[in-house]
Structure 1
Amino acid sequence: MEGAVRIYAGELNRSAGVARHDGAVVHTPSGASCSRIYFVGVLTEVNRAGHGFLRARVADPTGTIDIAAGRDAPQVTETLASLTPPAFIALTGTFRIDTWLPEPHIAVRPEAVRIADRDERDRWLLVTADRTLRRLEAQHPADRDEGVARVVERALAVIPETPEGDSQGGVRQAVMATIDRYSGPRGMDVADLVRYVQECGYPEPHIRDAIRGLLDDDECYTPASGCIKRL
């Protein structure tokens, strides 16, 4: 079975879907082509449609996705029906293309649903940011959709800041993830590190504070002037 891809609602709503005999495939602006999604957000609405069918909406900070559950997934339908919005949930699912609407609409058919919490949602936002930015980086510059970078910024903006100006699972983790991704034998250029993390929506002073904190905590070191590397 194909692995589920992390996609923000704001990007999914900008995506194109293709209905096939073996299931729908979604092509996102950041370059993902997938038939399954992993999503963590807030259940905002649940409506029974009759005959064992249920419709729901789940939101992240970038938008909302539509959920359509039916008799082929009774446990999912039962779980959704038992919840009172708003509630954090995590789900995996396939896509359905509603072609009878004026414009084709992508909905998600959940395969599994479980209760989540804010911390799990925030971790999902961070990892999804990293995966989305990696897909953008892999594209030719002329093909990149700058709107997706703004979607990432909106997603990361909700992660709470600590009094020190860092964020719980926020800028410090973004810095470390960026170092892990781009480091070479001599580490990574600090100027490049700041620039990449700024693209995630973090201000430069917070990024440099996080870098200093990682050096003070012996999480990183400077193998050469102007470079940083994980220990």
Structure 2
Amino acid sequence: MSGAPTREVARRVFATEFNDAQYTFKESDEERAPVYALLPTGERANRVFVVGTLTETEDVGSDSEYWQGRVVDPSGTFFMYAGQYQPEAASFLREAEPPVYVAVAGKPRTFETDDGEINVSLRPESVTAVDADTRDRWVVETATRTLERIQAVESDEATQNEYVSMAREHYADEEGTLTLDQYRRAALGALEELDEEEAEAEAQPSA
């Protein structure tokens, strides 16, 4: 067996859940051990894969270029940041002309503001322009994955899942209830929005 590290699976997640994934952890004391974001639906994510509309880019750096990109999916907005250590992603954001559909693979990062709020952002490994069909397929797959995770949390087997237990510990309300309805609504709403877009497209007279 090779001793080379393997890349973590990139989780499909909607913005509404990604932005709530404020708890991060390591599973090893090693310095280079991967950092995971804990998704409220009971899964760990070292990497994520998102597709949406790049609506805005801005160089927010002071001493050097540090690009911010806003990517919108049916549920909300992802914020990604790329600087000198992500040259390809930074170059894409510098030259992009929003709005454009993009696919982004990257790592979740958390930052605590001065007032104690935890902001979750994406450090992109790659950013590529994609077409509407790619966006649509991502929405369907991400909705499916989200609903599967919710179903797993609500099943009897969930009590045996350490990440579900962690989600209950860190994201449950004061009564100990882990509420996932908002993520179910986001997934179902994304699928409904997709159906409406397809129906409108079919209703348009052909040229």
TM-score grouping bracket, smaller chain normalisation: 0.7 to 0.9
Q: Which residue of 2 aligns with 1:25?
A: 36
Q: Counterpart amino acid of 1:25?
A: Y
Q: Counterpart amino acid of 2:101?
A: F
1:87 to 81, 97, 100: 100
In structure 2, runs of 5+ residues without a counterpart are 1-6, 156-176, 203-207
Partners in 2 of 1:42 and 1:147 — Cα distance?
22
Q: TM-score, normalised by structure 1?
A: 0.66
Q: Which residue of 1 aligns with 2:70?
A: 57
Partners in 2 of 1:72 and 1:123 — Cα distance?
30
Deviations 1:82-133 (A, max 9, x none): 1111110001001211123431111100000100111111110000111111
Q: In the TM superposition, what is the alpha-carbon distance from 1:19 to its structure 2 partner?
A: 5.8
Q: TM-score, normalised by structure 2?
A: 0.73
Change (3 A) 1:104 1:39: same
Q: Counterpart amino acid of 2:190?
A: A
Partners in 1 of 2:20 and 2:86 — Cα distance?
27
Q: Counterpart amino acid of 2:133?
A: D
Q: Does the residue aligned with 2:185 lie in a helix, a strand or coil?
A: helix
Q: Which residue of 2 aligns with 1:36?
A: 47
Pairing 1:134-173 to 2, within 5 Å after superposition? 134-140=148-154, 143=178, 145-159=180-194, 160-162=197-199
Q: Is the 8 A contact 2:23 2:37 kept in 1?
A: yes
Change (3 A) 1:101 1:123: farther
Q: In the TM superposition, what is the alpha-carbon distance from 1:46 to its structure 2 partner?
A: 0.4
Bigger Cα Rg: 1
Q: Which residue of 1 aligns with 2:165?
A: none
The answer to which of 32-41 and 152-161 deviates more is 152-161
| Structure of greater relative contact order (alpha carbons < 8 Å, 6+ residues apart) | 2
How many residues were matched structurally? 164
Q: Is the 8 A contact 1:19 1:96 kept in 2?
A: no
1:104 to 91, 111, 118: 118
Q: Does the residue aligned with 2:184 lie in a helix, a strand or coil?
A: helix
Q: Does the residue aligned with 1:158 lie in a helix, a strand or coil?
A: helix
Partners in 2 of 1:72 and 1:14 — Cα distance?
26
Q: In the TM superposition, what is the alpha-carbon distance from 1:49 to its structure 2 partner?
A: 2.1
Q: Counterpart amino acid of 2:71?
A: V
RMSD across aligned C-alpha pairs, in angstroms? 2.0
